[in-house]
Amino acid sequence: MTTLTTPDVRPARAEFSSGPCAKRPGWTPAALEDAPNGRSHRAKIGKSKLKLLIDKSAELLGLPAGYRIGIMAGSDTGAIEAAMWSMLGPRPVDVFAWESFGNDWVTDVTKQLKVDAEVHTADYGQLPDLSKIRKEADVIFTWNGTTSGVRVANADWIPADQEGLVFCDATSAVFAQDLQWEKLDVVTYSWQKVLGGEGAHGMLILSPKAVERLETFTPDRPLPKLFRMTKKGKLNEGIFEGATINTPSMLAVEDCLDALNWVESIGGAKATMARADANLAAVAKFVETSDWAAFLCEDQATRSNTSVTLKITDARVAGLDTDGQQAFVKKMTGLLDKENVAYDIAGYRDAPPGLRIWCGATVDTSDLEKLGPWLDWAFAATVAEL
């Protein structure tokens, strides 16, 4: 391995993983001291913690009146699949997918649920043709493609008088991007992304129109217990008051409350959005002067400010076959890992070979500014071995 002089300054925190993501600045295990460990989530203290988490989340997100928010099992995946299994069927479905998780929902809709659907896809780095949305159809899409680094710029493409329900997987967008709630009926996310919380728990947001669907539509398929949100034809309101369907981790709940308190302390969701924007700007500044890296998403308007993806444009690497490029990225990111300056920033396994750098609100802009020279160092050291 060619020996090159390493940069003088290291990021204070090397956690740039896209999930689970970096904890909020200043986090220590002491933040969890008030967790009611060993207590039932049905006990008064457990219920109060869960209700507080729900209420604080709704307040910080600015949810419209009548929208409900509840805690679900199985992270974002569990939340979105519970919604699809419970509500899809009475209308045709439009699915828009441009990365791996969106394609998972395509599989759910077309191969598992087998509902009448039109599928619209795009390659990594691009968006599908959103103008193909049908007003009469239910719609499923990811607001921010976690594995592609591509997001929708806004919800203007959704008709104001959309007749079907709009299902939005927003797991890497909530608290970082400005969602237009009034155009969304089912929104899901997880604590482990922008909040930097622990994995395994998902959040489900329902509009009044989504609640109406749950109470008027009975699917002709079996529903696992984890997906059942109604009792005797009515919404199970307990789910949205903290009576979770299954047992949550009270340690993870305490951690999420700590993250929400941090969000509140810095100025709310607008402040976390601004932090993510500043982080993207730091990476963009690096890319502007780089002779080997570029954004996978070329359209600035649809470029993610959380899961930021870069491609390697240097001809010596771009000219390799896919396996060769993947091997290059593995070696390059391995150097950064070994130096403890950047963990887990290789692109997603199904995405084009490259880098994926988490820029959500819990990451400090100063660390991303310090990361740039290290990326140059690791690239130079790796390309010298070709």
**136 has pLDDT over 90:** yes
CA nearest neighbour of 252 among 342, 330, 329, 191: 191
**254 has pLDDT over 60:** yes
Residue 201, pLDDT score: 96
- Confidence bin at 2 (pLDDT 50/70/90): low
**303 has pLDDT over 70:** yes
Residue 4, pLDDT score: 87
Tell me how far apart the alpha carbons of residues 310 and 355 are, in angstroms, rounded to a whole number: 5
Residue 194, pLDDT score: 98
Please, what is the average pLDDT of the chain?
97
Judge residue 229's burial from the number of C-beta atoms within 10 Å of its C-beta, 0-12 exposed, 13-18 middle, 19 or more buried. Answer: buried
The residue type found at 315 is: A
Second CATH level (architecture) for the domain 32-265: 3-Layer(aba) Sandwich (3.40)
Q: What integer is the mean pLDDT of 100-106?
A: 96
The residue type found at 252 is: A
**3 has pLDDT over 90:** no
Q: What integer is the mean pLDDT of 347-352?
A: 93
Residue 5, pLDDT score: 94
Which pLDDT tens digit goes with each residue over 257-287?
999 999 999 999 999 999 999 999 999 999 9
Superfamily of domain 268-383: Aspartate Aminotransferase, domain 1 (3.90.1150.10)
Cβ–Cβ < 8 Å for 149, 299: no
Domain ranges (residues) in the chain: 32-265, 268-383
**40 has pLDDT over 80:** yes
Q: What is the 3-state secondary structure (H, E, C) of the chain?
A: CCCCCCCCCCCCCCECCCCCCCCCCCCCHHHHCCCCCCCCCCCHHHHHHHHHHHHHHHHHHCCCCCCEEEEEECHHHHHHHHHHHHHCCCCCEEEEECCHHHHHHHHHHHHHCCCCEEEEECCCCCCCCHHHCCCCCEEEEECEECCCCEECCCCCCCCCCCCCCEEEECCCCCCCCCCCHHHCCEEEEECCCCCCCCCCEEEEEECHHHHHHHHHCCCCCCCCHHHCCEECCEECHHHHCCCCCCCCCHHHHHHHHHHHHHHHHHCCHHHHHHHHHHHHHHHHHHHHHCCCEEECCCCHHHECCCEEEEEECCHHHHCCCHHHHHHHHHHHHHHHHHCCCCECCECCCCCCCEEEEECCCCCCHHHHHHHHHHHHHHHHHHHCCC
Let me know how long the chain is: 386
Q: What integer is the mean pLDDT of 91-113?
A: 97
**97 has pLDDT over 60:** yes
**1 has pLDDT over 70:** no
Residue 31 CB neighbours (<10 A): 18
CA nearest neighbour of 372 among 315, 292, 300: 292
Tell me how far apart the alpha carbons of residues 370 and 265 are, in angstroms, rounded to a whole number: 26
Tell me how far apart the alpha carbons of residues 140 and 186 are, in angstroms, rounded to a whole number: 9
pLDDT cut 90: percent of the chain above it: 98
Q: What integer is the mean pLDDT of 344-363?
A: 96
